[in-house]
Chain A
Amino acid sequence: EPEVTQTPSHQVTQMGQEVILRCVPISNHLYFYWYRQILGQKVEFLVSFYNNEISEKSEIFDDQFSVERPDGSNFTLKIRSTKLEDSAMYFCASSGDAGSNQPQHFGDGTRLSIL
C-alpha cells in the first residue's frame, strides 16, 4: 500500500537555526497537510496546501513557517528561526481529494527537538 514518508525521523537543532522537514506524499494525491503534536498534547493542524499554494493555515503557522513543493514529489515544511516551543512531532499527511469525507494518510512523523 502506498505510504507517506517523512525524513528525518528525528531532528535536533539549536534554537535560532533553520530547519527543513521533508515529506513525500502518496504519488497521486493532490492535497497536503502538516500537523504537529507537542508532547502530551493533541494533534494540531498547521497548514494545508493545494495547487502550489496554501489553502488554509492555523494561528500557529506564523511568518517563521513556510511550505513548499519544490518538485513533483516532495513537500517541505521550513521553520526559519526555531524556538524552544517548536519542539514537537511533526506529521505530514496527504489525501486524494479535498472533500471533508476523504481520509488523510499520515507519515510516521519527524520528532523535532530544539536545544
Chain B
Amino acid sequence: AQSVTQLGSHVSVSEGALVLLRCNYSSSVPPYLFWYVQYPNQGLQLLLKYTSAATLVKGINGFEAEFKKSETSFHLTKPSAHMSDAAEYFCAVTDPGGKLIFGQGTELSVKP
C-alpha cells in the first residue's frame, strides 16, 4: 500500500535561506509523487509532480524536488525563501486507482 511521511510538521526559515521540506514515501509500484501548496483560506495548488521522467523536477515559484529511489524520498527545496512562500505544503502519492494519499503536511514559516 502507498503511504507518505513528511518529517517536521513545522519548519521555520529566514528570508533568503534554503528551504528543505522532507517527504518519504512507501509504494508497492513505481510511484507518482506530487507536492501541493495550500495558502491560508485557499485550496491545494499543484507545485510539481514526478511521473518517472526526470528525477529532478522543477515546479512553480522556484521550487524543485528530487526523486531518490534508493532513499524513497522526494524532498522539496527552494534555494532562497521569500515571505510569500509561507504556507502549508503537502506531499502526496497516487495509488494505482488514481486517488491521492497525502502526508500530514508541513507548515512553512518565513522570518524577515
Residues of A within 8 A of B (CB): 4, 6, 31, 33, 35, 41-45, 48, 55-56, 91, 93, 95, 98-109
Give the residues in chain B near A104, CB-CB below 8 Å.
46, 100
6 smallest beta-carbon distances between A and B, as pairs: A101-B51, A100-B94, A106-B44, A108-B43, A43-B102, A106-B43
Assuming the contacts A35-B100, A48-B99, A56-B99, asked whether A101 and B42 have C-beta atoms less than 8 A apart, the reply is no
Tell me which residues across on chain A come within 8 A of B46, comparing CB atoms: 103-105
Write the chain A residue with the least CB distance to B98.
Answer: A98
- 5 further contact pairs, Cβ within 8 A, besides A99-B98, A108-B42: A4-B43, A33-B100, A42-B105, A56-B98, A106-B43
For A93, the chain B residues whose CB sits under 8 A away are 44, 100
B side interface size, CB within 8 A: 26
Contact status B98-A100, CB under 8 Å: yes
Q: Give A55 to B95 CA distance when docked, in angstroms.
A: 13
B105 to chain A, nearest CB (A): 6
Please tell me if the beta carbons of B99 and A33 are within 8 angstroms of each other in the complex: yes
From A4, A56, A107, B97 is in contact (CB under 8 Å) with: A56
CB-defined contacts of A91 to chain B, threshold 8 Å: 43-44
Q: Taking beta carbons and an 8 Å cutoff, which residues of B are in contact with A?
A: 32, 34, 36, 41-46, 49, 51-52, 90, 92, 94-105
Closest chain-B Cβ to A9's Cβ sits at a distance in Å of: 8
Do residues A106 and B99 form an inter-chain contact, with CB atoms below 8 A? Answer: no
Please measure, in the bound complex, the distance between the C-alpha atom of A55 and the C-alpha atom of B103, giving whole angstroms.
23
Q: A43-B44, A43-B90 are in contact. Are A103 and B49 (CB under 8 A)?
A: yes
